[in-house]
A and B are shown apart, each in its own frame.
Chain A
Amino acid sequence: EAQVTQNPRYLITVTGKKLTVTCSQNMNHEYMSWYRQDPGLGLRQIYYSMNVEVTDKGDVPEGYKVSRKEKRNFPLILESPSPNQTSLYFCASWGALHTGELFFGEGSRLTVL
């Protein structure tokens, strides 16, 4: 089954404790992206990757890092989480430019105390 898998689905952590949200896709997609969803703001892009070892900032990259060492994986790293990073996070992948349809994971709800 074609899917994007995120882990963990739910996490409560404290300010400053480094965490990683993993994302893996099994569709051999070249492109992957991270979004955060906040009330009234919709989905805002954090980082995206057009290929292995190629990443770029989205609209709200502050406080986040990503890496793309393998095609299938695109982890999101919060080096020093803060309460304003409490949000619902979605990983997405897509395989074709110009007619790209994004496939989303089920989401990771992160709470930073």
Chain B
Amino acid sequence: DQQVKQNSPSLSVQEGRISILNCDYTNSMFDYFLWYKKYPAEGPTFLISISSIKDKNEDGRFTVFLNKSAKHLSLHIVPSQPGDSAVYFCAASIYGQNFVFGPGTRLSVLP
């Protein structure tokens, strides 16, 4: 049973619009959440993170929202750019000791 779920395998968005990627988790002990981006033939790279004591973290065009009561987080990309086309993984950890990843969402930003 997956502890971290990304229910949308793929998402297509027009350039300049907002991309919203969703992630749900089941373990209430998770206290740190991260988003990673992966291009083909490369390793995943860190994008943004959020601690469970916060409900929002922003870094440039990327914002992560955390709703602890719903065990849900989302990544917003505004505005979306073609270079954002990649697979996005949501990950969660307990005190940074063990990271559990979701199955990923493939984002395609159309010109």
Q: Which residues of A contact B (CB under 8 A)?
A: 4, 31, 33, 35, 40-45, 48, 50, 58-59, 90, 92, 94, 96-107
Inter-chain contacts of A103 with B (CB < 8 A)? 46
Would you call B32 an interface residue if the criterion is a C-beta within 8 Å of the partner chain's C-beta atoms? yes
Given contacts A33-B99, A41-B103, A45-B98, contact A104 B93 (CB under 8 A): no
Inter-chain contacts of B97 with A (CB < 8 A)? 31, 50, 97
Ordered by A's residue number, 29 sampled pairs between the chains whose C-beta atoms are within 8 Å are A31-B97, A40-B103, A43-B89, A43-B101, A45-B98, A45-B99, A45-B101, A48-B98, A58-B98, A59-B100, A92-B99, A96-B96, A97-B95, A97-B96, A98-B31, A98-B96, A99-B49, A100-B96, A101-B46, A101-B49, A102-B91, A103-B46, A104-B36, A104-B43, A104-B45, A105-B43, A106-B43, A107-B41, A107-B42
Q: Which residues of B contact A (CB under 8 A)?
A: 4, 6, 9, 31-32, 34, 36, 41-46, 49, 51, 89, 91, 93, 95-104
Flag if A42 contacts B101 (CB, 8 Å): yes
Total A-B Cβ pairs within 8 A: 70
